[in-house]
Structure 1
């Protein structure tokens, strides 16, 4: 069973703890030469297939990733903060200082 095999658990833990994709050689550096890393990765990939996360190979490196069909759940709309123009800052400053104020009064103060 996958969960009780110490070699596969070691490979899984090494890959999970890494912040970068790892090659078989890099993983072997952590788990030792006695572990068949390639076989463990293949079995782990099969074990994670169809789950929310999966182990995938990109080039020669392996890493965990979110299942592609669930990526939409993790996408969030990001608010982009943009700098206000000088005119906008001036207008807001006038409103804050002179409130209540009309548009005509703002334009008169700004000299527009």
Structure 2
């Protein structure tokens, strides 16, 4: 006759309860929550990754889904229902053409230095353009380059990815897709004679409008 193994005083809660914990954290947090943060908040012995996987399956096909934002997770409206959340009023503050192009360069070439942005655009990038994107929290400072002067680099943020419904920068559409969707027109490319930094106050684009 063998003795039954003793039950641990620190046994993990049932998986269903762990799933509820993950759901509560995602629902209450104003920002996306990483798996590491979930694991640290949950009781000893819990498996945040497994609980999250079950939660994602439970929300499949619902009006709200568990979406990955960078390296974190959050509740987001199902993509096909996004039209219900669109504002009907016109947003007055839009990005300038210079800011749009700078943001696009950072997104597609990150990590990228200011000098590299200027080389790609063919014109100088004003301090105000960079400051605007930093203020919107759509770009942030990355690691410094191990080159003379150790210039700082810029990368897009999770706020940027979240705003455009992207899991990572790798999900950005290609130029052909943008043109097919009507999001790029036949304007001169950055660096051409028709491209002036003065357009910073007048150029607009539907792609990066808030």
TM-score bracket for this pair, using the shorter chain length = 0.5 to 0.7
Match of 2:76 in 1: 65
The one of 39, 48, 52 aligned to 1:37 = 48
Match of 2:57 in 1: 46
Deviations 1:66-105 (A, max 9, x none): 0000000111211457xxxxxxxxxxxxxxxxxxxxxxxx
TM-score (norm 1): 0.63
The one of 18, 22, 25 aligned to 2:33 = 22
Question: Comparing both structures, which one devotes a greater share of its residues to helix?
Answer: 1
Aligned partners of 1:15 and 1:27 also within 8 Å: no
How many Å separate the matches in 1 of 2:70 and 2:90?
34
SS at structure 2 position matched to 1:19: coil
Give the CA deviation at 1:58.
2.4
How many Å separate the matches in 2 of 1:54 and 1:8?
14
Match of 1:8 in 2: 19
Deviations 1:8-48 (A, max 9, x none): 10111011111111111111222233211001111111110
Superposed CA RMSD = 1.8
How many Å separate the matches in 1 of 2:84 and 2:70?
27
Unaligned runs of 5+ in 1: 82-112
Of the structure 1 ranges 51-60 and 63-72, higher mean CA displacement relative to structure 2 is found in: 51-60
Unaligned runs of 5+ in 2: 1-14, 93-210
SS at structure 2 position matched to 1:54: strand
SS at structure 1 position matched to 2:37: helix
Larger Rg computed on CA atoms: 1
Q: How many residues align?
A: 78
TM-score (norm 2): 0.35
Task: Establish whether residue 76 from structure 1 lines up as the match of residue 104 from structure 2.
Answer: no
